[in-house]
Amino acid sequence: MGGTAVRGILPLSVPADDAAALLRDQVAAFVAACSELTDLELLAPARCHGWSRVDTVVHVRLGLEELLAAWVARTAEPATRDAASYWSGHPDGRDEDPVPHILWLRRTASAYTRPARAVHHLKVVAGSLTAALDHLAAGCVAFQGMVLSVGDLLATWVVELAVHQLDLDVEAPPTPGALALTRRTLEAVAGGPLPAGLDDSQAVLVALGRVPWPVGVEPVTHLPVSL
């Protein structure tokens, strides 16, 4: 791998200010969608295999905490991944078997006495992240064994939040800007466009295997993204 390039993945980089604006709006949209769900609705299955909706909430909250921690992990080293190549896998070769994480996430979510308390915890962390975005500084950060520009790191979380809002399977959609960036990211990973006949939500859901490809639409056969 040279620089941020990964074979078969198209380059994609997002300016820090643009990524921050998209993330701020998408964080608010995700929190609002979660806040509309009752305890029983939060216990229902999500679109991500093996997860409930409250599992999804906890996963996102943990990720936002990790993102906040990255704020102080500044580095003078050049970026090794961009907003698309980040999704090509972890350079440290961490285990890709999803089952241990699914079971760990279930145990973590079950520590809350009520699912709504997981949503409250999410709101607290989301508020801290939104405040941090008001003090954005350019540069690069070390994150999960990689180095990304601040803009590209924030862009990965725009994608993460948009996908997991779709996973909630609720009426409220992710923001249009977040969905558009998610589609661009998946197309960069795929090395070409997703079917033009699918809107952004449909394209994301089918490309990630959340729903079957529509009859008559040629599927993208190589999309190495685990979300």
Residue-level pLDDT at 4: 67
- Which CATH number goes with the domain that contains 172? 1.20.120.450
Residue 93 lies in a domain: no
Number of independent structural domains in the chain: 1
Residue 218 lies in a domain: no
Residue-level pLDDT at 143: 93
Residue-level pLDDT at 225: 60
Q: What is the pLDDT of residues 107-127, one digit of tens each?
A: 999 999 999 999 999 999 999
Residue 96 lies in a domain: no
Residue 217 lies in a domain: no
Range of the domain at 190: 19-88+107-207
Residue from 156, 161, 212, 150 nearest 184 by CA: 156
Residue 9 lies in a domain: no
What is d(CA 100, CA 219) in angstroms, rounded to the nearest whole number? Answer: 29
Residues of the chain with pLDDT under 50: 1-2, 92-94
Question: Could you give phi then psi for residue 193, rounded to 5 degrees?
Answer: -75, 150
Residue-level pLDDT at 221: 58
Residue-level pLDDT at 97: 83
